[in-house]
Chains A and B, each alone.
Chain A
Amino acid sequence: MTATATASVPRPQGPLAPGDALTPLALAPISRTTLALFAGASGDHNPIHIDLDVAHSAGLDDVFAHGMLSMAYLGRFLTANVAQPRIREWGVRFTAITPVHAEPVCTGSVREVVERDGERLAVLDIAVTLADGTVTLRGDAFVTAEPVPEAAAGASAAAASGASAARGGAA
């Protein structure tokens, strides 16, 4: 079904600069089916996300979405904007529960560009927000400010020097 010859997806080219906004990712309402499938796909089998009886036994009105489902959406959002080999580090705080049928939107922008371990890294402020304005995840990400080759084999020292060379070539 996905057997296209597309090597990758089109992403913004050019270096990231402070104030740049990433392209948001808006998700469809989260269904109970998605929660059941995500339990199997992610290996997070905590029944509080999929079994109404268990939610009730804990005094909750309903099941709620896995935090890592929203973080996976945020990962999709990041890699849609910058290829995964550019991501050095990222993290979130889970600030509110995501109810069933919620419609998360992933957003992010460049706070600053810093130098770390010989690389120029864009520091992103990232968040997941629901339609009613509730922020469910908030965090940051460190990504290379400039694009790197798709198969740059991650953030090893060798890849870092490769990225520097690519940067010199692009400048």
Chain B
Amino acid sequence: MSHARTEAPPQAPPPPQSIIGRTLPPFRTTPERSQLQFFAQVIGETDPVYSDVEAARAVGHPDLLVPPTFFFSLELRRPDSHVLIDELGFDRRQFLHGEERFRYHALAFAGEELELAAEYTDCYEKRGGALTFIVRRTTVRREGVLIAELSNVLAIRQLEIRS
């Protein structure tokens, strides 16, 4: 220890494009009634099929209806959802939501166990590298049957970060 250096020399993070083709393993989660009710209340949703089990059943649903954007919230429950992006050396304060897209094949309801799997499918830069975009595609399955697909574009901007 005769030299002042106490940390390992910083290793350059891999290029962002290296994330293309990497996958996040499937994980299972269940939308709970109470969480759907909370979500409906916060966004001001008053249609009772999203918050009142009896009302949902009255129109033929087995339970509370999972609203259109809640699949994104289910995906946020993944443990270490940003672990692969962290490897690229970005700070989460740089993140902006670029795009979000949903495609539905069936409705989902409170209490169902859903399985989500994701893959990073693209990465590109704009404005001479001032913005980096990372595309992630997610499938949602119930008992093996595809019920929804999500496409997410994360935008990463340059910021004057102060730790």
A-to-B contact residues, CB < 8 Å = 2-9, 27, 34, 37-38, 40-44, 46, 48, 54, 57-60, 66-69, 71-73, 75-76, 78-80, 84-85, 87-94, 97, 139, 149-151, 153-156, 159
Contact = CB atoms under 8 A, between A and B. Distances in A.
A80 B45 CA distance: 9
Nearest to B51: A2
Nearest to A88: B104
Contact of B162 (A8, A57, A149): A57
A8 B44 contact: no
B93 interface: yes
B68 A84 contact: yes
B47 A8 contact: yes
B22 interface: no
B159 A59 contact: yes
Question: Which 5 A-B residue pairs are closest in the complex by CB-CB distance?
Answer: A151-B60, A91-B101, A67-B97, A154-B106, A75-B68
Given A66-B97, A154-B147, 20 more contacts: A2-B46, A5-B58, A6-B55, A8-B48, A41-B38, A42-B39, A57-B163, A69-B43, A72-B67, A75-B68, A76-B43, A76-B45, A79-B67, A84-B67, A87-B68, A88-B103, A94-B97, A154-B104, A155-B104, A159-B106
A156 B102 CA distance: 15
A67 B98 CA distance: 9
22 contacts: A5-B54, A7-B55, A8-B49, A8-B59, A37-B42, A41-B38, A42-B72, A43-B74, A44-B76, A48-B92, A54-B93, A58-B159, A58-B160, A59-B159, A66-B97, A69-B43, A75-B67, A84-B49, A89-B102, A93-B98, A94-B96, A150-B49
Contacts of A46: 92, 95
Given A38-B43, A41-B38, A78 B68 contact: yes
Given A40-B38, A68-B97, A90 B47 contact: no
A77 B73 CA distance: 19
A79 B73 CA distance: 18
Given A41-B39, A87-B104, A90-B68, A80 B96 contact: no
B52 interface: yes
Contacts of B41: 41
Given A9-B46, A94-B98, A59 B161 contact: yes
Contacts of A42: 39, 42, 72-73, 76
B43 to A, nearest CB: 4
A75 B71 CA distance: 12
A91 B71 CA distance: 13
A68 B162 contact: no
